[in-house]
Amino acid sequence: MSYHVSIYPTAVGMQARTDPSVTEKIRSLPEIPATHRAAFISRLKLCGYVREPSASSLEMVKFFGKTPVTVSFHAGSVTFSVPFWADADEAIFEACMTASELADSPDYCVFDAQKGEWQFT
């Protein structure tokens, strides 16, 4: 089991207010533009995340102690995943903070799946 926090285009978050299942309809999500994706990757590298070479899709990872934070890039979202381990508190905190920092424009919002909360800039 993992803790998940995701970045979505703001339009998705606004739609989710009336249709909570919108994030499950992956094919209907608006795509994140390539320039924004590249900016997210650059900012994650500055934070110490590295590309996961064995991943079949674009993933980056950073360890906090023994706990990894994996960032997965999808067409319409960027998801931070942290395994629920005994020492995962710091990694969960950092995943949430980094997601909030990346989504620091009105174009994006953050969804914390465990809390069921949307965060808008």
Domains of the chain, first to last: 2-120 (3.30.310)
Yes or no: say if 103 and 121 are a contact pair by the CB < 8 Å rule.
yes
Cross-strand partners of 69? 62
31-65 per-position pLDDT tens digit: 899 999 999 999 999 999 999 777 677 999 999 99
Distance in angstroms (rounded) separating the CA atoms of residues 11 and 56: 28
Residue that the structure tokens 């998705």 belong to: 12
What type of residue is 96? C
pTM of this prediction exceeds 0.85 = yes
Q: At what angle do helices 34-46 and 89-102 cross, to 10 degrees?
A: 140
CA angle 86, 89, 92 (to 5 degrees): 120
What does the pLDDT read at residue 47?
96
